[in-house]
A and B are shown apart, each in its own frame.
Chain A
Amino acid sequence: MKNNKILLLFAHPSLSRSEVNRPMFKAAKELDFVTVVDLYGEYPNFKIDIDKEQQRLNAHDIVVFQFPFYWYSTPAILKEWQDLVLEYGFAYGSEGTALHGKTFMCALTAGGAEKAYRAQGYNHFTIRELLQPLEQTANLTGMKYLPPFALFASRTAVEEGRVQQHVGDYVALLTALHQGRVDLSKASELQRINDDLEAVIASTTEENK
């Protein structure tokens, strides 16, 4: 049984209006192996403390970005965070190996329906394709990339009673990541990691077999 520590970087600029991200964030907060950081709460002026953030990265094995999908990308503060924290000599460059071997995943909510996120849909690309800048960031910084844990049609999730299930899946996935029970090779084939959670989360630790 592994004992991975998870750093959850959460970015939601209007938490009081959040319907899905807030319960997800709340549930994650309850898990003692997850360190949650409300970026907009901690840096309301966007003055990100680079040292502090780098130390946080050093202290964790898994990095999760949780955010509502804004214009096919993260909210601004997560981009700011990347621009400032992933410095040369820390995250990349010949001496920048701080992130090597860690695991990276996005947990996001998208307003569009699943059928919009495909070549024939009005968004033309799948969610995984749209997240390629982040996938490549993970590659370049030496992190293992997991497909996103995503919820589509999030604006009507409450009305359609989909939130509870989604939050439950989130907790299950974070727990599995913590215990090292996520099958990375199976996961990497998926568009969304929650397309087939059962297959991805092994009942026993994969690496111990």
Chain B
Amino acid sequence: MTSIFIQAFIYLFAAVIAVPLAKKLGLGSVLGYLIAGVIIGPVIGLVGQETTAIQHFAEFGVVMMLFLVGLELEPKMLWNMKSKLIGLGGLQVSLTVVIVMAIALAFGQPVTVAIAIGLIFSLSSTAIVLQSLNEKGLNKSSGGQSAFSVLLMQDIAVIPMLAFIPMLALPELVEAASSLQTATEHHEELSLVAGLPSWAYGLAIIASISAVIFGGHFLSRPLFKYVANSGLREIFVATALLLVIGIAALMSLVGLSPALGTFLAGVVLANSEFKHELETNIEPFKGLLLGLFFITVGAGINFDILSQNLTPILVITAAVILIKGAILYVLAIIFKVKGSNRWLFALSLAQVGEFGFVLLSFSLQNNVLSNELASMLQLVVAISMFLTPLLFILYEKVILRRYELQSNEQGEYDQDMHKGTVIIAGVGRFGQIVNRMLTANGINTVVLDRQATQVQNLRSINIKSYYGDASRPDLLHTAGIETADMIVIAIDDKEEAVSLTHHIKHSYPKVKILARSFDKGHTYELRDQGADIIVAETYFSALEMGASALTHLGFHPFDIEQKKHAFNTVENNASDELYNEWKKRTEGEKFGQDYRTMFMTLEETIKTAMEANRLDKHNATERGWTPPPKDYLDDFKD
């Protein structure tokens, strides 16, 4: 137990020191984690042996990341991607395999080894690439989108590769292995499908994928609703984890990629009202695990082997990056990825990825590669991953700048960025009407409410809303507050509305805040925290009611319209004064402010304001259309 604490401490400490520093130096968080790993591993030797074990654990970060990616991708969008997915992704994988294989053959490797190397090098790093694209805000650009389709295709391609590699076993390695006799460390993974005939295996795969889709679609909703209604946030977190881990387990049992399974589940849940809440809960786990994964990659670099084979390893790494980059660049031309995006696409995917590690150890276990070759290739994979953040920096600092000088590519971005979104926090009787008004005019809204039943009711009448507590900063983040134009705060809790206003004003000063207030005191509190527009929920309806009363008492409707306006004007004019009065009071008496005295002062001020108006030559309500005096014709001469 103690050693676990110490190890965890070392990993966390390295991350805490290295990542903010790397970020500050403009290197990005991924490079920070990698460097942290190199320092605690090979350089000062604090950690080492356990990295492979931790790596398996950390790979779960990739699984969670794909779940989150899936959540952002509605089935319709996935369908629209199909040509890129199959065409671009398929060509990238097959071309890379063939060309790398040919080169390996030319260097005298046996066919089976050449194929294995080709397969390993064809894959890129989903973890590094997606993380870097997100961090740099490039994930919506056409280069980023294309890169994503290729990564997705690669994740799918891993499955047949894993099935194919055992067939490449080298007889002499098999012999050597069997003489050593099985089993030192290589124990059979738990599997449901081991030993099944292939038709049954196929059935098992189809059954488990259908289970994910069916379960995600029909069973998850009642479960989440049940948990959400309990109001226990940590249980919701547990449920989210249960979902992801459960799917990963199911997929592993039938020999499919857990990442792919959770991705699928994510896509199924992309339309769900619990989407943002799920994202918010999984996000921190994903971030930490991915970070851990990057650290293990850095820590796993074996400097002994590296220094012994420095030149060949560096040459192979450079060759891999160049060849992969060249293939990607050509494909980008064919698939009409334009301008700087073509470079982004080519550079971002030029490395070998974490699945390379998986395939390597799998090849080793299946006696396809010799130990010596495998450990060299391992270093090639690690170094190429290490170089990826640097390629991103190259893209940002050199290529993008050159293209910005050449042509203004802004237009392409703008469509994605300027959607003009409004977040509506709280969609009860008040927020609902605001939302209807906005959506009826084609405004994009993200509607949040923390009552699962309410969200479900709204969804049943086609109002797109999400379950979630808007007073949580991280949920606002996933709802997209950074890019939103404004937020409408219509949540039921008075204090939370005030503190939410405070938080948004400080963290996102560009977002306009429209707040619903309950009464005068609340209005002033909201105003104090910097709400831009405040509407008292009862004020206008009460004014309407007053006007209706006057109508039925026999006043002329048009006359009442003027009186209503005058009342409103006086109220508005007085409000600054009242606010200052209120402010003085709250500052003077820290607690226990007497609300009744305060309200009486307000009334007094309104009265004074009204009277001041009456002393004018015309009453405010009678100012317009006042006829001239009876004798006014005397003024005119013909």
Binding site for B on A (CB under 8 A): 45, 47-48, 50, 83-84, 87-88, 92-94
* Contact assessment for A92 and B625 in the assembled complex, using a CB-CB cutoff below 8 Å: no
* Contact assessment for B623 and A50 in the assembled complex, using a CB-CB cutoff below 8 Å: yes
Contact with A along B626-638 (1 / 0, CB 8 A): 1111001001000
* Contact assessment for B625 and A84 in the assembled complex, using a CB-CB cutoff below 8 Å: yes
- Least CB distance from B287 to A in Å reads 46
Q: Given A45-B565, A47-B565, does the pair A88, B623 have CB atoms closer than 8 Å? A: no
* Contact assessment for B628 and A88 in the assembled complex, using a CB-CB cutoff below 8 Å: yes
Q: Which 4 A-B pairs have the closest CB atoms?
A: A88-B628, A94-B635, A84-B624, A47-B565
- Least CB distance from A187 to B in Å reads 27
A84–B622 Cα distance when bound, in Å, is 11
* Contact assessment for A93 and B623 in the assembled complex, using a CB-CB cutoff below 8 Å: no
A45–B561 Cα distance when bound, in Å, is 10
Q: Contact check: which of B624, B625, B632 meets A93 at CB < 8 Å?
A: B632
* Contact assessment for B565 and A83 in the assembled complex, using a CB-CB cutoff below 8 Å: no
* Contact assessment for A50 and B628 in the assembled complex, using a CB-CB cutoff below 8 Å: no
- Across the two chains, which residue of chain A brings its CB closest to B634? A94
By a CB distance below 8 angstroms, the chain A residues around B627 are 88
By a CB distance below 8 angstroms, the chain B residues around A94 are 635
- A–B complex contacts, Cβ < 8 Å, 6 sampled: A48-B624, A50-B623, A87-B626, A88-B629, A93-B632, A94-B635
- Across the two chains, which residue of chain A brings its CB closest to B635? A94
* Contact assessment for B565 and A93 in the assembled complex, using a CB-CB cutoff below 8 Å: no
A51–B239 Cα distance when bound, in Å, is 63
Main secondary structure of the interface of B (DSSP, over half): loop
Q: Given A45-B565, A47-B565, does the pair A88, B625 have CB atoms closer than 8 Å? A: no
By a CB distance below 8 angstroms, the chain B residues around A84 are 624-625
Binding site for A on B (CB under 8 A): 565, 623-629, 632, 635
By a CB distance below 8 angstroms, the chain A residues around B625 are 83-84
* Contact assessment for A50 and B635 in the assembled complex, using a CB-CB cutoff below 8 Å: no
* Contact assessment for A50 and B632 in the assembled complex, using a CB-CB cutoff below 8 Å: no
A18–B625 Cα distance when bound, in Å, is 31
Q: How many A-B residue pairs have CB under 8 A?
A: 21
A93–B626 Cα distance when bound, in Å, is 14
- Least CB distance from A46 to B in Å reads 9
- Least CB distance from B565 to A in Å reads 5
By a CB distance below 8 angstroms, the chain B residues around A45 are 565
* Contact assessment for A50 and B624 in the assembled complex, using a CB-CB cutoff below 8 Å: yes
- Least CB distance from A49 to B in Å reads 9
A87–B565 Cα distance when bound, in Å, is 20
- Across the two chains, which residue of chain A brings its CB closest to B623? A50
By a CB distance below 8 angstroms, the chain B residues around A47 are 565
Extra A-B contacts (13), CB below 8 Å, given A45-B565, A48-B624: A47-B565, A50-B624, A83-B624, A84-B624, A87-B626, A88-B626, A88-B627, A88-B628, A88-B629, A88-B632, A92-B628, A93-B635, A94-B635
- Across the two chains, which residue of chain A brings its CB closest to B627? A88
By a CB distance below 8 angstroms, the chain A residues around B632 are 88, 93
A92–B636 Cα distance when bound, in Å, is 9
A47–B623 Cα distance when bound, in Å, is 11
By a CB distance below 8 angstroms, the chain A residues around B635 are 92-94
- Least CB distance from B561 to A in Å reads 9
A87–B629 Cα distance when bound, in Å, is 11
- Least CB distance from B375 to A in Å reads 69
A93–B627 Cα distance when bound, in Å, is 12
- Least CB distance from B613 to A in Å reads 12
By a CB distance below 8 angstroms, the chain B residues around A48 are 624
- Across the two chains, which residue of chain A brings its CB closest to B565? A47
- Across the two chains, which residue of chain A brings its CB closest to B629? A88
By a CB distance below 8 angstroms, the chain B residues around A83 are 624-625
- Least CB distance from A116 to B in Å reads 35
By a CB distance below 8 angstroms, the chain B residues around A50 are 623-624
By a CB distance below 8 angstroms, the chain A residues around B565 are 45, 47
- Across the two chains, which residue of chain B brings its CB closest to A85? B624
- Across the two chains, which residue of chain B brings its CB closest to A50? B623
- Least CB distance from B204 to A in Å reads 60
- Across the two chains, which residue of chain B brings its CB closest to A49? B569
- Least CB distance from B615 to A in Å reads 15
A125–B535 Cα distance when bound, in Å, is 51
A88–B632 Cα distance when bound, in Å, is 9
By a CB distance below 8 angstroms, the chain A residues around B624 are 48, 50, 83-84
- Least CB distance from B618 to A in Å reads 9
A92–B627 Cα distance when bound, in Å, is 12
- Least CB distance from A140 to B in Å reads 9
By a CB distance below 8 angstroms, the chain A residues around B623 are 50
By a CB distance below 8 angstroms, the chain A residues around B628 are 88, 92-93
By a CB distance below 8 angstroms, the chain B residues around A87 are 626
- Across the two chains, which residue of chain A brings its CB closest to B562? A47
- Across the two chains, which residue of chain B brings its CB closest to A83? B625
A50–B624 Cα distance when bound, in Å, is 8
A88–B629 Cα distance when bound, in Å, is 8
- Across the two chains, which residue of chain A brings its CB closest to B624? A84
- Across the two chains, which residue of chain B brings its CB closest to A95? B635
A32–B496 Cα distance when bound, in Å, is 46
- Least CB distance from B153 to A in Å reads 46
A94–B629 Cα distance when bound, in Å, is 12
- Least CB distance from A96 to B in Å reads 8
A6–B627 Cα distance when bound, in Å, is 29
- Across the two chains, which residue of chain B brings its CB closest to A84? B624
- Least CB distance from A18 to B in Å reads 19
A47–B565 Cα distance when bound, in Å, is 8
- Least CB distance from B633 to A in Å reads 10
A47–B568 Cα distance when bound, in Å, is 11
A101–B67 Cα distance when bound, in Å, is 75
A28–B635 Cα distance when bound, in Å, is 38
- Least CB distance from B296 to A in Å reads 59
- Least CB distance from B124 to A in Å reads 49
A162–B51 Cα distance when bound, in Å, is 77
- Least CB distance from B587 to A in Å reads 34
A87–B627 Cα distance when bound, in Å, is 9
- Across the two chains, which residue of chain A brings its CB closest to B568? A47
A47–B561 Cα distance when bound, in Å, is 10
A87–B624 Cα distance when bound, in Å, is 9
A113–B625 Cα distance when bound, in Å, is 37
A50–B626 Cα distance when bound, in Å, is 12
A48–B562 Cα distance when bound, in Å, is 11
- Least CB distance from A107 to B in Å reads 26
A45–B566 Cα distance when bound, in Å, is 13
- Across the two chains, which residue of chain B brings its CB closest to A45? B565
- Across the two chains, which residue of chain B brings its CB closest to A48? B624
- Least CB distance from A126 to B in Å reads 26
- Least CB distance from B634 to A in Å reads 8
Select the residue from A45, A47, A48, A50 with max chain B CB neighbours within 10 A.
Answer: A47
A92–B637 Cα distance when bound, in Å, is 13
- Least CB distance from B638 to A in Å reads 12
By a CB distance below 8 angstroms, the chain B residues around A92 are 628, 635
A54–B629 Cα distance when bound, in Å, is 20
A45–B569 Cα distance when bound, in Å, is 13
- Across the two chains, which residue of chain B brings its CB closest to A51? B623
By a CB distance below 8 angstroms, the chain A residues around B626 are 87-88
- Across the two chains, which residue of chain B brings its CB closest to A94? B635
- Across the two chains, which residue of chain B brings its CB closest to A140? B636
Select the residue from B624, B625, B629 with max chain A CB neighbours within 10 A.
Answer: B624
A88–B627 Cα distance when bound, in Å, is 8
A48–B285 Cα distance when bound, in Å, is 58
- Least CB distance from B551 to A in Å reads 18
A138–B389 Cα distance when bound, in Å, is 74
- Least CB distance from A160 to B in Å reads 32
- Least CB distance from A51 to B in Å reads 9
